[in-house]
Amino acid sequence: MNASTWARKLLQGAGVLWGAWTLVFFIFAFVPDPARQMAGQNERQEVVDAFRARHGLDRPLLERYVRFWAELSPVKWSRAEGVHIAAPSLGRSFVSDRPVLSAIRESLPATMLLATAAMGLALVLGLVLGAWLAPRAGSRVDRWVLTLASLGMSAPSFVMAIGVSWLFGSVLHAWTGLPMTGGLMEVHPFEGPRLAWHHAILPALTLGIRPVSVVTQLTRNAVIDVLGTTYIRTARSKGISATRLFFRHVLRNALNPVLTAASGWFASMLAGAVFIEFVFGWQGMGLLMFRALEVGDLPIVMGCVAIIALVFVAVNTAVDVLYAWLDPRVRLS
């Protein structure tokens, strides 16, 4: 990729991000009187007015939109300090009055760990299963695996989370040793706070069931298509070993649709982890957003959605770079 292509990709990503954050702002801007909902129907009007003033809800919509982007920008201006650099802001929580970014900063690493582990599991199992099934297309084992993959894609995450938690955390607990619930950190009575990596196994497994099914089917179909191309038959006629042919030509050319699906699934996992984190008690951004929705804490919900949009744009931009490395035709275009 040359400099102009990089600039175009960055501008496209910035445009998508601007559109997503603008949509998020206006969706939450038209929520009916959040100040009255938070204060309660019987609270005095003076308290409600003070709440509106505290969170800027008494200002005109356009001014609130401009302030929203001014708070997000790292370059700020004030009469006292002039132009200066400051950390971006997504406002303050309606409930705890703490900065939204501070709450997200504490919970995002746990969700990123969960999504990364689930996506890694999906890629490894999906690529292996899909590549193994491609030469066996149409066989009985192929039909069985595809049926299971279809069931995995259609199963609701909430139901799967309850089933996996009950089966491996309760029924088979004596063999697995895995708890039904638990976060990334646990407090030991003698050692104090410590990392509990084993708590991530069941939620990561549950979160990875649907992408495993998608990656398996995509890899299988892509490998079948590549195996039928002319250059693969030519490479075989030249005596290239089966292992080198598969890894250098077949798998590399079949990865493009898999990467496309993986990038979309990784970003959606951050949003889709809400129910899974709730069932397993995983202290991540999904659980943070769920609890914020319960109490009507709109700045927290809005901040989580904005961060998910940012991750989605960043992941898709990174996938474009991987395309250029995997497929020479992308570099030429």
62, 85, 108 — which closes off a domain? 85
- Residues 168 and 317 both lie in one domain: yes
- In tens digits, what is the pLDDT along the chain, a chain of 333 residues? 566 767 777 788 788 888 888 888 888 888 877 777 777 666 788 888 888 888 888 888 898 898 888 888 877 777 777 777 877 888 888 888 888 889 898 888 888 888 888 888 888 898 888 888 888 888 888 889 888 888 887 877 778 888 888 888 888 888 888 888 877 777 767 677 777 788 888 888 888 888 888 888 888 888 888 877 777 777 777 777 777 777 776 777 777 777 777 777 777 777 667 788 888 888 888 888 888 888 888 889 888 888 888 888 887 777 776 666 655 555 544
Same domain, 120 and 81: no
Contact criterion met (CB below 8 Å) for 117 and 97:
no
Residue 325 has a pLDDT of: 63
Model pLDDT, residue 332: 45
Q: Is the Cα dihedral 89, 105, 123, 156 positive or negative? A: negative
Question: Is 174 in the same domain as 319?
Answer: yes
Residue 95 domain flag:
no
Residues 58 and 183 in one domain: no
Q: Is 72 left (phi over 0), alpha (psi -120 to 50) or beta?
A: alpha
**91 falls within a domain:** no
Within a domain: residue 232? yes
Q: Is residue 289 within 8 Å of 304, Cβ to Cβ?
A: yes
Distance, in Å, from the CA atom of 300 to the CA atom of 314, rounded to the nearest integer, reads: 21
CATH number of the domain enclosing 263: 1.10.3720.10
Q: Please check whether residue 93 lies inside any domain of the structure.
A: no
Task: Report helix angle 157-166 to 201-227, nearest 10.
Answer: 120
Q: Are 144 and 182 in the same domain? A: yes
Give the end of a domain, one of 52, 85, 118.
85
Based on the fold, state whether residues 116 and 192 are members of the same structural domain.
yes
Token reading at 56: 């800027």
Last residue of a domain, one of 40, 59, 85: 85
Tell me whether residue 233 is in a domain: yes
Domain count, the chain: 2
pTM score, whole prediction: 0.77
Say if residue 166 is in the same domain as residue 297: yes
Rounded distance, CA 240 to CA 66, Å? 61
Is the domain of 178 the same as that of 318?
A: yes
Domain that holds residue 124: 100-332
In a domain, 274, yes or no: yes
User: Which residues lie across from 76 on neighbouring strands?
Assistant: 84
Torsion sign across C-alpha atoms 193, 197, 203, 207? positive
Same domain flag for 106 and 243: yes
**Are 173 and 312 within one domain?**
yes
- Please check whether residue 90 lies inside any domain of the structure: no
Residue 128 covered by a domain: yes
